[in-house]
Amino acid sequence: MVFATCAWQSHSFGQSPVQVAGTATVTAATTGNWSAPSTWVGGVIPGDDARVLIPSGVTVTVDGMISQEFKSVRVDNGGKLNSETKWMSIIKYIQQMED
Instruction: Report the run of H or E that residue 82 belongs to, with start and end.
Output: strand 80-83
Instruction: Tell me the per-residue pLDDT of 60-91, one tens digit each, with 9 for 90 and over.
Output: 998 888 888 888 888 999 999 987 665 554 44
For 29-62, write each residue's pLDDT tens digit. Answer: 999 999 999 999 999 999 888 889 999 999 999 8
Category of 21 on φ-ψ map: left (φ > 0), alpha (ψ -120 to 50) or beta:
left
Domain count, the chain: 1
Give residue 88's domain range. 2-96
